[in-house]
Amino acid sequence: MNSAQQGFRLTKQFAVISFLSITLSAILIFLFFRYETIQTIESTSRDGNEALTIALEYALNDHFIQFIEQASVEKDQPIKRVPIDPALAKALDKMLFNTNVVRVKIYDRHGRVIFSTKESQIGDTQEDNHGFYTAMQGDPSTILIYRDTFNIFDKATEDDNLVQTYVPIRDTFDSPIVGVFEVYSDINRQIDQSYQLTILVWLIITLVMFALFAFLLLVVKRAENIIRTQNQETSERKKMLEFLSAKMINAQEDEKKRIALELHEDVVQTISGVKMQLERYLLTVDKIGDKTDVDLKQITRDIVPILQEAARRIRLVAMDLRPPSLDDFGLIAAINSLISECDTQSPGLEIHTHFTIEEGDISEEEKSILYRMVKEIVSVVCFQEKILGVLHLFIENEGGQLLLRVVIESEQIKSTARGQLPRVFGAMRERTILSGGDFQVVKYVDQRIEVSAGWLS
In the chain, the domains with their CATH numbers are 3-186 (3.30.450.20), 200-314 (no CATH), 328-456 (3.30.565.10)
pTM beyond 0.85, yes or no: no
| CA 445 – CA 437 distance, rounded (Å) | 24
CA distance 162 to 191: 11
Contacts 24+ apart (CB under 8 A), 250-259: 250/365, 250/368, 253/322, 253/365, 253/368, 256/321, 256/322, 257/321, 257/322, 257/327, 259/318, 259/321, 259/322
What count of residues does the chain have?
A: 457
How does pLDDT run across 350-391, given as a tens digit for each residue?
899 999 888 888 888 888 888 888 888 888 888 888 888 899
Helices (H), 112-172: 130-136
- CB distance 205 to 197 below 8 Å: no
The predicted model gives 333-349 an average pLDDT of 85
Cross-strand partners of 391: 351, 408
Give the model confidence (pLDDT) of 286-321 as tens digits: 666 555 455 556 666 666 676 677 666 666 666 666
Query: Which 8-state DSSP code applies to residue 125?
Result: B
- 180 by Cβ neighbours in 10 Å (0-12 / 13-18 / 19+) ranks as buried
SS3 180: strand
Q: Which of 16-25, 284-293, 323-332 has the lowest mean pLDDT?
A: 284-293
For the stretch 329-356, what's the b/e string if a residue is b when 16 or more beta carbons lie within 10 angstroms of its beta carbon? eebeebbbbbbeebeeebeebebeeeee
